[in-house]
Structure 1
Amino acid sequence: MLDIIKKASLSAVGSTNPVTVLYGTVTNTHPLEVNVDQRFSLTEDFLVVGESLTEYKRNIAGEEVVIRRGLQTGDTVVLLRYQGGQTYLVLDRLVKPS
């Protein structure tokens, strides 16, 4: 009976925290792979990347110009883990203040 109560209380606590914030480092771009806290790696099958982190180029006056660079090896990123832990949103790239 005590075990059932413990499991129920842990489940209730887990449901109040629907996302977890993690930090990772891009270790590969094609295919995308992110190492999280030097503990485990996530492949692109588990990652969702927003448009703001994808490369965007335009032809301007006959020259290709990078408007927005995509993720690159070595980038530090902020990840949000959805409840259940199967999907991670790559929220943003971290930059060092200059």
Structure 2
Amino acid sequence: MELIETIKTIVIDTVRAMDLLDTGYATVVSESPLTMKIQATQLTVKEPVAVMTDNVRYRAVTVQGETVVLNPGLKTGDKVLYMKACSGQSYIVMAKV
């Protein structure tokens, strides 16, 4: 039985090291340049590798002479959902969690 448990452990560690996850969670470390820390691997990723979608960008409009903030953007400490693209060559920030 000990051999089987050892083989299971090796397989699990190998799959985990392959980093097959295409989505995950990260924490914003810095706003400019955008820097985030991936929760699963503790890897720090920053622009231009980390790319924001319009869902998380700061957006404001002027209505009758007053500025209205539609989206406040990302702040340090925010948790985000990301999608890994091109085998980890870029990380696309999809939404704030």
TM-score by length of 2: 0.70
Q: Which amino acid aligns with 1:24?
A: A
Supply the distance in 1 between the matched residues of 2:62 and 2:94 (Cα, whole angstroms): 28
Q: What is the match of residue 84 of structure 2?
A: 81
* Higher percent of residues as strand: 1
The separation in 2 between residues aligned to 1:83 and 1:64, in whole angstroms, is 38
Q: 1:46 matched to which residue of 2? A: 49
Q: Could you give the per-residue CA deviations for residues 49-79 of structure 1, whole angstroms, max 9, x where no partner exists?
A: 1111111111222221101221111110011
Question: What's the offset of the Cα at 1:43?
Answer: 0.5
Q: Which amino acid aligns with 2:38?
A: V
Q: Is 2:72 aligned against 1:69?
A: yes
Unpaired runs of 5+ residues, structure 1, are: 1-13
TM-score by length of 1: 0.70
Q: How far is 1:83 from its partner?
A: 4.0
Q: Determine the structure 1 residue equivalent to 2:35.
A: 33
Q: Please, what is the CA RMSD of the aligned residues?
A: 2.1
The gaps in structure 2 that reach 5 residues or longer are 1-17
Would you say how many aligned residue pairs link Structure 1 and Structure 2? 79
- Structure 1 runs of 4+ aligned residues shifted over 2 Å read none
